[in-house]
Chain A
Amino acid sequence: AQTVTQSQPEMSVQEAETVTLSCTYDTSESDYYLFWYKQPPSRQMILVIRQEAYKQQNATENRFSVNFQKAAKSFSLKISDSQLGDAAMYFCAFSGYSTLTFGKGTMLLVSP
């Protein structure tokens, strides 16, 4: 079974600054997908970014980018030019030949 570990329960960043959220995973599968989801207080899980393991190029979505290190089984999320609306719980998730497995989340606090 795969596991997803987010070692940072909480992170803080100031507006316009850059923050990186860490995620590591453990799996024996070779084909899989990795995701970052954002969950604001409204509880709606919103997809932030997705990475296919077979792609060497790191995924980017506007201010969000990932650093995918397959050998190290690491998948960090970088948020550039942070905005107040980025404040939320961020979940890293793994999807392979079984179910989507989530980490415990990192709460991101954004201050003016």
Chain B
Amino acid sequence: EAGVVQSPRYKIIEKKQPVAFWCNPISGHNTLYWYLQNLGQGPELLIRYENEEAVDDSQLPKDRFSAERLKGVDSTLKIQPAELGDSAVYLCASSLGTGVLSTDTQYFGPGTRLTVL
């Protein structure tokens, strides 16, 4: 069974340019997560989707970040315009169930390393 797929693996852009990351979760997984991981830190949640609904986007900087999960399967995270401080690894994860209590194990993709020059 294929794991969580992310693309691209690496992206280098100049500041003020737009960038987009794509994630395809494990087949059948209803919940999808986007995390931001700064160097030397643990991942921090940006947004969580249950099916196609964003149920927790409280940590997403909505002035420049946007996300979508059309049809409740794959998802795209966009930054426009990118800033120097956005340089980080962007991780996608998925889990099987939905609900308030996060009991399901999250499975992670390999991440996208973004460098903003």
Contacts and interface: CB of A to CB of B under 8 A. Distances in A.
Interface of A: 4, 31, 33, 35, 37, 42-47, 50, 91, 93, 95-100, 102-105
Interface stretch (B12-20, B62-70, B72-80, B102-110): B102-110
Given A44-B110, A47-B107, A99 B42 contact: no
7 contacts: A43-B110, A45-B43, A91-B43, A99-B56, A99-B102, A102-B42, A104-B42
A64 B111 CA distance: 25
Contacts, number: 54
Interface of B: 33, 40-45, 48, 56, 89, 91, 93, 100-103, 105-111, 113
B110 A42 contact: yes
B112 to A, nearest CB: 9
A91 B111 CA distance: 16
A55 to B, nearest CB: 13
